[in-house]
Amino acid sequence: MFFKTSDGSFLDSNGKVLYFSTERFIRDICEGDCCFICGISRSETDFNDEHVLPKWILRKYNLYKQSITLPNETKFRYDKYVLPCCKQCNSLMGKKIEEPIRNLITQGFEAVAHHIEKKGYWLFFVWLSLIFFKTHLKGKSLRYYRDRRQEDYTLFDTYNWEELHHIHCVARSFYTGCKIDPKVMGSFLTISAKMDSTYQDFDYLDLHDSKTVLLRISDICFITVLNDSCRSLTPFKNYLERLSGEMSPLQLREVTAHLAFINLHLKERPKFFTMVDLHRKKHIMSAKCSDFVELDNYEQSEFGEILNFCCKEFLNVCNDENLEQIKEEVKQGKRTFLFDEDGNFNTNSFVPMT
């Protein structure tokens, strides 16, 4: 039999938290220092460090001494970027998520695509939810202003934890065994990336407000929207149908910008919920959303802001002779790296880099 606690959380007969109420999630996970998967306190078991990006990626791409850009746009070294997690959950996460992912990715794009075709993208969606969640949970222990002379508040203060509650439920579903309704799955693209010696083999970008993530490992790129119930793909369909080849790192970032922008402008947002049957010991995560997708009003410059955020890291080191014009068009949301002047897929979109 399952039990409901006074704060609205659900536990199994062994006390395992199957569902954190928002109240308990904020108290124990966000503001507290409990294991971010099972919620156990530090005083009750052994903890060890969990890297925000898996160690095998840090090793393979020599990222230990490189930095991730945080939502406050400061940089933090990947090797220092760790979260407290209990040993048991760490090892379960390795077995259920990290090892199968590593196994598929090291076999290459075809193996990943084959897995997704046969079994769906749940494994990768949960993995990206975990990375996104860890990135943003970590913010609570980092000062917003890294310069200590400035006012002291953490990144945590700038987050809306309730919005992250749903992503946390998905991220720990490998632990809870919760059934997931397909409506919970967000937009997800697996794209073959075109490699070039001027770009790194690894790219990670997340947009906090739009809950959108890009992760590129060699020639495999995943782009997902974590909280849109696949709604963002409908308005993006016209673009998607014309994207007919391997994509450059800059093009992949533009795709991320489009999905992020659409997600922010969905007129009707999906509502996520978890249903628990105490007696039958079943729980399922689901979503309510209409089939009709409509966007609210927007200015093209709003898209430009997001496109600029996604592309500026590359454009800042670009040496194209028309760079200033390109940057201005990006800011206005009028520049595309995806298509040529005739509207066909641009197969030559590598911006010259310094």
Q: Where do contacts with Zn ion occur on this chain (CB under 5 A)?
A: 35, 37-38, 86, 89
Looking only at Cα atoms, what is the longest distance across the chain? 68
Nearer to Zn ion, 89 or 233 (CB): 89
Residue recorded with tokens 């078991």 = 45
Nearest to 181 by CA among 288, 77, 46, 86: 288
Nearer to Zn ion, 85 or 189 (CB): 85
Q: How far apart are CA 166 and CA 214, in angstroms?
A: 19
Task: Quote the tokens at residue 132.
Answer: 């996104």
- Minimum gap (Å) between residue 34 Cβ and Zn ion: 8
- Those residues whose C-beta lies under 8 Å from the C-beta of residue 340, and which sit 6 or more positions away, are 346
- Minimum gap (Å) between residue 86 Cβ and Zn ion: 3
- Minimum gap (Å) between residue 38 Cβ and Zn ion: 3
With b for 16 or more beta-carbon neighbours within 10 A and e for fewer, the 332-344 pattern comes to bbebbbbbeeeee
Nearer to Zn ion, 86 or 101 (CB): 86
CA distances from 271 to 85, 278, 296 (A): 29, 22, 18
Nearer to Zn ion, 35 or 221 (CB): 35
Nearer to Zn ion, 167 or 318 (CB): 167
Beta bridge partners of 206: 213
Distance of CA 171 to the CA centre of its chain: 10
Nearer to Zn ion, 45 or 106 (CB): 45
Nearer to Zn ion, 37 or 226 (CB): 37
- Minimum gap (Å) between residue 33 Cβ and Zn ion: 12
Nearest to 112 by CA among 188, 197, 170: 188
- Minimum gap (Å) between residue 213 Cβ and Zn ion: 23
Neighbours of 155 (CB within 10 A): 21
Q: How far apart are CA 7 and CA 138, in angstroms?
A: 25
- Mode of pairing for the β-strands spanning 179-180 and 282-288: parallel
- Minimum gap (Å) between residue 98 Cβ and Zn ion: 15
